[in-house]
Structure 1
Amino acid sequence: MAGQSGNFELNVMLPIIAQNLLSSIELLANSSRLLADKAIASFKVNESKLKEALSRNPILVTALNPIIGYQKAAEIAKTAYKQGRPVIDVALEHTDLQRSELEVLLNPEKLTAGGI
């Protein structure tokens, strides 16, 4: 509203706009600190559940595309998703790759690391 009260880029309400903006930034900063201290700091990570969910995530098969091709990888992803099984188990059944090779290829840490 304060922005509408100025004429010809000579806005006498600019100090009010700046004060309200700074006040909003201060409120946001304070609430972010409170959220971090009171809520997020007490979170407990269930690593086993995360690893299980990650092993079932169809996105992992993108690492297999260069080796087995897109069609075969898509088939593995769809099967794993429909059956709720880990991608590595389905890939073992549908490819000639060994478990050790698949563990290296489907390693989430390697897939999320930067670089080529």
Structure 2
Amino acid sequence: MNGMMEMSSMMQAPRYVIIKLESNPIIPAGKESQIKLLVFDKFTQKPMAGAQVIVGIERGGAMTTMNMMGRMFQAQEQSNGTGLYVVTFTPDNNGIYTLHTHVIPPGKPMYYMMDNHIDIGVAAPAR
């Protein structure tokens, strides 16, 4: 039952943050790309600086393959105070990739990442 509750919470909208995709979700296969994310505090509507934005990349649609590209890693915060975070990765083949994106607001414990999760799809089409 605990696993089902955990899965259910991960399928809900983020509880404390808003995560907005700022870059084109179509990226070239075999070339390093940057995906830009804007993170806002859901209650103040202001950019969230100093958060930990943790990303795991899955080859395929969300929760379909669980074929992960390495370990989870932290997105890089850009221009302090703007809430802009950059995920850099190289799609190894054409196809769909899912960015399992978790946010830990500043000063909050690690378990907040489960309440602030969203899956973002990007495509690397064949050339």
More helix per residue: 1 or 2?
1
Quick check: which has more Rg, 1 or 2?
A: 1
The two structures have a TM-score, normalised by structure 1, of 0.26
Q: Structure with the greater relative contact order (CA < 8 A, sep ≥ 6): 1 or 2?
A: 2
Richer in strand (by share):
2
> What TM-score do the two structures reach when normalised by structure 2?
0.25
